[in-house]
Amino acid sequence: MSKVIAELVIRGSQDIFKQASDFLDKAIKEKGPAQKIGFPETAFYLPAANALLGAKVETLKDVLPILEHAKSLLPDIPSEKVWLPYLGDALNAGMSTLFCEEIIVALRYLYGQEPQKDCNGFFTDNILRSLGIQLVDGRMSGFAAILGAAPDNKTAVEIIRQLQERNILIFVGSQSEGRSIIDQLLEENIQMGWDNYIVPYGRDTISAVYALNWAIRAALTFGGVKPGEAQKCLMYMKERVLAFALALGKVDEIKCATAAAAINMGFPVIADTDIPEIKASGITTYEALVKELNYKNIVPRCIEVRGIKVKVSSVPIPVAYAAAFEGERVRREQLYVEFGGKASAAFEYLTTLESNAVEDGKFELIGPDIDQLEKGKRSMPLAIIAEVAGRKMQKDFEPILERQIHRFVNYAMGIMHVGQRDMNWIRISNDTFNKGFRLKHLGVILHAMLHQEYSAIVDKVQVKLYTRQEDVDKMVATAQKAYGERDERLSGMNDESVDTFYSCLLCQSFAPNHVCIVTPERLGLCGAYSWLDAKASYEITPTGPNQPIIKGGITDDRLGQWKNINEFIYNKSNKTVEKVSMYSLMDAPQSSCGCFECIAAVIPEANGVMIVHRDHSGMTPSGMTFTTLAGSVGGGVQTPGFLGIGKLYIVSRKFISAEGGLKRVVWMPKELKDILADKLKKRAEELGESGLIDKIADETIATTAEELVSFLAKVNHPALTMEPLI
Amino acid sequence: MDNLKQQDKRQTIDLATQEMLQKAKKENIKTAWDRLQAQEPQCGFGQLGLCCTVCNMGPCRIDPFGEEAQVGVCGANADTIAARNLARKVAVGSSAHSDHGRDVAHTLSLTSESHAHAPGGHAHQHYTILDAEKLKSVAREFTIDTNKTKEQIAKELSKKLLEEFGRQEGELVFTKRAPKKRQDIWKKLNITPRGIDREVVELLHTTTMGVDNDYKNIINNSMRCALSDGWGGSMVATEVQDIILGSPQPIRGKVNLGVLKENYVNIVVHGHEPILSEMAVRASKDPELLKLAKSLGAEGINLAGICCTANEVLMRHGIPVAGNFLQQELAIITGAVEVMLVDVQCIMPSLQEIASCFHSKLITTNSKARFPGVIHVEFNPENAYEVAKQIIRVGVENFANRNKERVNIPKQEMDLVAGFTKENTFHILGGKYRATYRPLNDAIISGRIRGLAGVVGCNNPKQTHDYFHTALVKELIKNDVLVLQTGCSAIACAKQGLLIPEAAKIYAGKGLQEICEAVGIPPVLHLGSCVDNSRILTAASHIIEEGGLGKDLSDLPAAGCAPEWMSEKAIAIGFYFVASGVYTIFGASPFSTLGSKNLTDYLTNGLEESVGGRFEFCDDPLKMAELMIRHIDKKRKALNLSPLIYQ
């Protein structure tokens, strides 16, 4: 911290403190001390105050001690001569600013001043959970918070694109001399939103606290850090949340104070102006504050200073290619051509051939390309057939590789891919077509990416595309036959028929004590890893996160416990979890990293279990929303009665079979029921309870335990007569 | 005149000191420099350590040229005689620090029983627990349940601390602060100190006639004794002083004789124990005394310090420092000192004679340290404020006796920043929330800071006063070595402006400069008095704990030195640093061991193999800096650290 910067930080922190203090006085005067205050959809109150102080702020009155604490952190401004050490002081000022800025934006919510126009406002807990898996598998390599504005729109877009190409989630906002990068991007028609890795937080520096108090929740959600464990929380962020701040334009006092908050979290700051640098490391992993005046170098400098490892896919196509473009939509007005969906017949199919039948890199287009599109038409039929060969390739891996087509195609900028198999839907934008993208580039993408990610099992890849209706019709039959066979084979696979389960330790990069065990009948709680996926992943990277565990002798077949599995878990959970029941919710249930799709939780009054999925934001009969429930699961801790699960586990034969399985389920959100409708029905029939699904309440029937119990009694739900759960 | 100037230059580099030496000469007042001259040539046998007065068969001396007697009457050879002489100095040095520690622990005990104040006095007139957090954390080290009142904890802690002095078996509790590997080395060599007093007594025993004749064994036992000082008595002193007087925080101060004020009553506190001087600080603000001072024509009461007492009140209150060891006589020679209040250690017997040349009154306060014919006001913690007030009143009343024509206060005064401790380093580097040593470790690992040097110790008229300290320290910081200081060495460098943060830009290498700029610190950190060398030991242990710089203190890219040493306490400090694994160089003249080649070789070479640290002797500051840097580089290499960023 150079003295100049320390001075700016401390002045800024004093200013922010005053703003918070005045705003709170006004609010208390106008609304009274008992007025509720908080952010939408979070279990963590005011998250920074909760994480670092253990405070549960619910009313304006509760804010007072936080503000008092923030005041106690405010240091004196360093003297002109013979100054006293200021680094610790400036860091304290940063923490004061963090608390105060959080208070200010919470008060703005109270007054309806947030979210700001075109901005996201407060980032919810769920976004963090749903991004969890992308964070660990490298699709999201880090986070950038941009404050200010680039000197011109073109530079702004270039910086954003460079960050996107490196798969960095970008929070944009604040301003410099009245200009915000948000408006620069809006003017350039850049798509923003979580799916595009560009999230506008607000047009002032104070609202950048959304990015900070979002990051802070990672420690609580995944790291097993308890509220109030401040130093642990901050160290978690330094070591595991690869974020940095990029200050564009003039760096004022408020930006400095906010930057000091970020530095406390180990997030370095990179500026495009000539400021004094802080090269000392220790609070941050490398330099704390650096300048880079050349815009060409600014993004690489950011990456270097934060120590981010970027996996860049180099795919020779005319548009940018990166995971950051996966979620980008191609809207009707931008559309050049589309395939599948409601527009035309289309499917994608990946199959294994003998090695000599595959010529690596070969691409065939049978039928017209997209530049020969008939005038006035905006769709074409399309069959994508990828043929692979490899010594270690197995039939079982085909569906796994085929499923990647979705991701691989989506990574291209200006191309949208939805669905899979014969229910796919692909759109190509005008821009992308104009830049020279043709169908052969789909072949280039699949060839490059299958090699890049699956080179351990795939030796050769060739791609054929058919764009004539008659060809597509003819080919689809073969594909459909294969789809059917695959489903058949999968449904025949069960925990008893294999001798090996797989671990998944992918999330240990942020949840160091959590171990997932993936079995044929229980997929990973994130929903992303089935037993076959784990198996393939092991073949691809034998030293990777998915390790085979010979399950060995079973020690409890009701609970689903194996000696070898327990030993593995004990060792890999850093000796924090001694045993895990694969089939029980109540007795040594599996821990969670935090990115579960659903939570199953006991409703004691109903002698049953409710399940809520991430997308359901309403109240549940447990008295808690998903967000609040999620607070008690996660971080690699076992919590009997609560379980994080993948959606498909609900319809597994092994779903909490120790407690009676699906028959225990008394409540699910309607949306989840709809998603799983056919499978639930089938499973209920297997259990001899064909009417079961209708006996499971949803939010339209009950949102309290009382309402639930009276409904269950009315429909005579089987759980009521089952063995007591507790 | 020219001739005189030249001579002064040889005596000191400090302008204020030069000026006062001229005044002394003019007024025919003898100082340490004159007395040194009168002693020359000094006794060669004494210098070589070959004179033995242990028993009444002697005195014996060994002929250094190998021609005459090679053994004493009892048969002791040069190795035994020199080792015994050295060991006795270690014991005495250790006893000085440790006895200081005992007195402080005793004060804690009285504080806990509320005896440490006169009944009815104001809160500031008695001792209280000023750092409750530190009280608790030290108590936890002694496995005391801290879920009690401060007084109860203090009572139990003082009992346990006092027991450390009388302990017969086991290990001193503070030795657990050392890295595990260091503790293992001590155990293996059987030099883990058992009880503070025991080690001093046992070492003295082994040096009496006809006991220990193995110079290596004598040195090993000396190390154990010294460890009972560094990780025992001194550490008790530091820790308890922080508890009852408050832990230091970075603070500004001023230094050199210029801090004495012409129109004020000048009270100089001198010695080592801060317990009384703390009360002097408080009493100097007593409204009654201030009123009296004004009524006698003074503008106020100005308190200033000399030696380690100065460092103690500087660290906690920013009280100005009048000077270091060799300036104690000169402070009186300014003619502006009303009272010099002394307690123990480093108080020159000459003071009374010099004071008698002026109106200045020397007042002793400790029954352990008295002068014939000098006013003695016995101090004890129960009546501390009253005693302090009484003494200052003497000073105030004495203002009227000042002969203004004989007053000559040098102009020199310099700013400084002091108040660094092993505890506040966490906060200075990381603030409240990220309290950590990491930035320091990172700075060393990444090669911005080359390493650490502890530069401590006294003054010695055999050396040009302050020159060795400052020339050495400038050379070290120029080479990106962060310097930690205590005692008179810190005062020397402070006078030359090395302890202000601005010094980084002027004197430090680019890497060190970047760190100083990032943190806002001077390139030379003042950690306090000579018992506060224990702060350096624990700070070094924290660095090891933080990680990345080895597992033992001897792995650290660090070195220690005492460039202008004179006291037996310096030898004890040197011994506990070496026994803790630190390469330690002594300037001035070497230990009195050169008469025994074996012993000298063991100290400067042999020890490294067993304890990882060793002694070195060097009489040139730039050469000493080079040796320290070479050692630091050797340790960097052993740790496989990256080369310095700016080299």
**Token pair for residue A526?**
């994130």
C-alpha dihedral (A533, A539, A544, A548), degrees to nearest 10: 80
> Where is mean pLDDT largest: A60-69, B8-17, B373-382?
A60-69
Which one has a higher pLDDT value, B121 or A605? A605
Question: Model confidence at B5, in pLDDT bands (50, 70, 90)?
Answer: very low
A135 has pLDDT over 80:
no
Q: How does the average pLDDT of chain A come out, rounded? A: 92
What average pLDDT does range B503-522 have in this prediction? 97
B118 has pLDDT over 60:
no
3-state secondary structure of B603: helix
B355 has pLDDT over 70:
yes
Q: Is A105 on the interface with B (CB under 8 A)?
A: no
Residue A65 is predicted with a pLDDT of: 98
DSSP element (H, E) containing A240: helix A230-240
Residue B589 is predicted with a pLDDT of: 85
Annotate A13-44 with three-state secondary structure: HHHHHHHHHHHHHHHHHHHCCCCECCCCCCCC
Q: How far apart are CA B591 and CA B540, in angstroms?
A: 26
Tell me, which fold does domain A3-306 have in CATH?
Rossmann fold (3.40.50)
* Count of A-B CB contacts under 8 Å: 106
Rounded to two decimals, the pTM is 0.86
Q: Above pLDDT 90, what percent of chain B?
A: 94
Is the domain spanning B257-406 CATH 3.30.9.60? The answer is no
What average pLDDT does range A1-17 have in this prediction? 95
Residue in B633, B458, B609 with CA at minimum distance from that of residue B530: B458
Longest CA–CA span in chain B (Å) reads 72
What average pLDDT does range A314-318 have in this prediction? 88
Q: Do A84 and B429 touch (CB under 8 A)?
A: no
A526 has pLDDT over 80:
yes
Q: Do B433 and A230 touch (CB under 8 A)?
A: yes
Give the pLDDT confidence of A637-662 residue by residue, as tens digits: 899 999 999 999 999 999 999 999 99
Sheet with B583-586, side-by-side order of all strands: B524-526, B481-485, B451-455, B558-562, B583-586, B615-617
Question: A85 contacts in B (CB within 8 Å)?
Answer: 250, 428, 519-521
B7 has pLDDT over 70:
no
What average pLDDT does range A244-263 have in this prediction? 96
Q: Is A78 on the interface with B (CB under 8 A)?
A: yes
Q: Do B519 and A94 touch (CB under 8 A)?
A: no
Residue A1 is predicted with a pLDDT of: 65
Lowest mean pLDDT among B202-211, B222-231, B586-595: B586-595
Q: Do B433 and A86 touch (CB under 8 A)?
A: no
Residue A574 is predicted with a pLDDT of: 87
Tell me, which fold does domain B418-638 have in CATH?
Rossmann fold (3.40.50)
Q: Do B431 and A91 touch (CB under 8 A)?
A: yes
Domain ranges of chain B: 78-245, 257-406, 418-638
Question: A81 contacts in B (CB within 8 Å)?
Answer: 415, 500, 502
Question: Model confidence at A545, in pLDDT bands (50, 70, 90)?
Answer: confident
Residue B326 C-alpha, separation from nearest chain A C-alpha, in angstroms: 26
Q: Do B436 and A279 touch (CB under 8 A)?
A: no
C-alpha dihedral (B6, B7, B12, B17), degrees to nearest 10: -90
Residue B120 is predicted with a pLDDT of: 53
Residue B513 C-alpha, separation from nearest chain A C-alpha, in angstroms: 10
Nearest neighbour of B417 by CB, restricted to A73, A82, A234: A82
Give the pLDDT confidence of A672-722 residue by residue, as tens digits: 999 999 999 999 999 999 899 999 999 999 999 999 999 999 999 999 999
Q: Is A481 on the interface with B (CB under 8 A)?
A: no
Nearest neighbour of A231 by CB, restricted to B429, B433, B442: B433
Question: A3 contacts in B (CB within 8 Å)?
Answer: 517, 520
- Distances B190 to A358, B224, B615, B644 between C-alpha atoms, Å: 75, 8, 20, 38
Residue B1 is predicted with a pLDDT of: 37
Intrachain domains B257-406 and B418-638 with the same fold: yes
Cis peptide before A545 (omega within 30 of 0): no
Residue B115 is predicted with a pLDDT of: 65
For B78-245, give the CATH class: mainly alpha
Q: Do A282 and B250 touch (CB under 8 A)?
A: no
Domain ranges of chain A: 3-306, 323-482, 496-721
Q: What is the ipTM of this complex?
A: 0.94
Give the pLDDT confidence of A104-119 residue by residue, as tens digits: 999 999 999 999 999 9
Q: Which long-range contacts (CB under 8 A, 24 or more apart) does B438-441 make?
A: B438/A282, B438/A283, B438/B546, B439/A87, B439/A280, B439/A281, B439/A282, B439/A283, B439/B515, B439/B518, B439/B519, B440/A282, B440/B482, B440/B543, B440/B546, B441/A282, B441/B543, B441/B546, B441/B547, B441/B548, B441/B549
Q: Do B250 and A281 touch (CB under 8 A)?
A: no
Helix A531-540 to helix A398-410 angle (10° resolution) is: 80
DSSP element (H, E) containing A543: none
Cβ atoms within 10 Å, residue A691: 12
Question: Model confidence at A668, in pLDDT bands (50, 70, 90)?
Answer: very high
DSSP element (H, E) containing B154: helix B150-166
3-state secondary structure of B452: strand
Question: Model confidence at B3, in pLDDT bands (50, 70, 90)?
Answer: very low
Nearest neighbour of B250 by CB, restricted to A3, A84, A283: A84
Interface of B with A (CB under 8 A): 250-252, 415-417, 427-436, 438-443, 446, 448, 500-502, 514-515, 517-521
B544 has pLDDT over 60:
yes
Residue A632 is predicted with a pLDDT of: 76
Phi, psi of A293 (to 5 degrees): -90, -15
Q: Give the gyration radius of chain B's Cα atoms.
A: 24
The DSSP letter of residue A226 is P
B4 has pLDDT over 60:
no
CATH code reported for the domain at A323-482 = 3.30.1650.10
What average pLDDT does range A632-636 have in this prediction? 80
Residue A312 is predicted with a pLDDT of: 67
Q: Give the gyration radius of chain A's Cα atoms.
A: 27
Helix B621-638 to helix B467-478 angle (10° resolution) is: 40
For A496-721, give the CATH class: alpha beta
Q: Do B432 and A88 touch (CB under 8 A)?
A: yes
Question: B438 contacts in A (CB within 8 Å)?
Answer: 282-283
Q: How far apart are CA B409 and CA B17, in angstroms?
A: 11
Q: How does the average pLDDT of chain B come out, rounded? A: 95
